[in-house]
Amino acid sequence: MGVRERIVTLFRLFLLFTVLVAVALISAITTIRLTIQGHQETMPNLVGRPAEAAERVLNALGLELKIEGRMFNPKYAADQIVSQVPPPGTRVKVGQHVHVLVSLGQPRVTIPNVVGWSARAAQIAAIQNGLSVGDLVAVYAPGSAVDQVVAQDPAASAAQIHSPAVNLLVSLGDPAPAYECPSFVGRPLSEAQLILQQSGLKAGSVKPVPREGTPVNTILSQTPEAGGKISPDADVTFEVAGPPLNPGPATLPLAPLTSPPGASSPPGPPPKPQ
């Protein structure tokens, strides 16, 4: 066999190997796609079905029903599904959750007017009327007593009710008085403490900071800053000038030069030439 024939034979073998590899790769990809698609189902339409029947349908497809909430809906009877996610016709994987809202039917509850009641009395009234208490939010409300309901949702006159929960806004009473904090920077600490005491405010901690050239206990900074709002029970803290870290040696006055006892007086200046 010549060299040319050997090269042709090797080329044919290489080409055959390449074709076999390509066929194997295409077969593997096709198998994976079929496997994935084999674990998918088409989402049925659950809207209008009772929740129990919808759960049976989904379990047969390998899916799980998850009820996200219940709401009043005059279009659907009680326990019927109002909406679903994913929507009908969607391809979903086996084991996926299907989220639904379930109808409570026609609203048959009366929303009591609990504005002005205590929060506890309002909660009891809601439960007695077949409602539940949703969000309970507390805010400062000038002129209202502490723990008094100042607003509700839905209102007592509401006709379109979508949820069996009533939300309440409860008063914390009058807001605490707030004062504008004066500026104490540059003043002596004792003066600032006296001003706070006369104003009914409290002086908090004092932190000395070494500072040269500034009198000791002079206020360098304050918290809160000047102009900020401060309540009567808050503390005003200060940073004040303290002594330097490395004070220089004390300077002593020089003693006058005196001759020791018995010593002759120093010679005078030399005589001027004649």
Query: Does residue 15 form part of some domain?
Result: no
**Residue 187, Cα to own-chain centre: how many angstroms?**
39
Burial 15-27 (b: 16+ CB within 10 A, else e): eeeeeeeeeeeee
Query: Does residue 211 form part of some domain?
Result: yes
In the prediction, which pLDDT does 147 show? 92
In the prediction, which pLDDT does 204 show? 87
Query: Does residue 254 form part of some domain?
Result: no
Query: Does residue 194 form part of some domain?
Result: yes
In the prediction, which pLDDT does 118 show? 93
Contacts of 200 (CB under 8 A, 6+ apart): 232
Number of domains in the chain: 3
- Containing domain of residue 125, as a range? 119-171
Query: Does residue 64 form part of some domain?
Result: yes
**Whole-number mean pLDDT of the chain?**
81
Higher pLDDT, 199 or 67: 67
Tell me: do 188 and 218 sit in the same domain. yes
Tell me: do 212 and 229 sit in the same domain. yes
Query: Does residue 232 form part of some domain?
Result: yes
Domain boundary among 127, 143, 171: 171
Q: Over range 66-75, report the average pLDDT.
A: 85
Higher pLDDT, 84 or 9: 84
In the prediction, which pLDDT does 198 show? 86
Higher pLDDT, 258 or 3: 3
Tell me: do 153 and 197 sit in the same domain. no
56, pLDDT greater than 60: yes
Query: Does residue 63 form part of some domain?
Result: yes
Evaluate whether 218 touches 241 at the Cβ level (below 8 Å).
Answer: yes
Query: Does residue 138 form part of some domain?
Result: yes
Tens digits of residue pLDDT in 195-230: 888 888 888 899 999 988 889 999 999 998 888 888
* Count of other CB atoms within 10 angstroms of residue 241: 19
Tell me: do 215 and 165 sit in the same domain. no
Tell me: do 161 and 184 sit in the same domain. no
Cα distance between residue 239 and residue 177, in whole Å: 26
Tell me: do 58 and 95 sit in the same domain. yes
pTM for this entry = 0.41
Q: Which residues sit opposite 99 in a β-bridge?
A: 66, 85
Domain boundary among 103, 135, 156: 103
What is the CATH classification number for the domain harbouring 231?
3.30.10.20
In the prediction, which pLDDT does 164 show? 76
* Count of other CB atoms within 10 angstroms of residue 62: 14
Tell me: do 130 and 99 sit in the same domain. no
Cα distance between residue 201 and residue 58, in whole Å: 67
Domain boundary among 73, 103, 133: 103
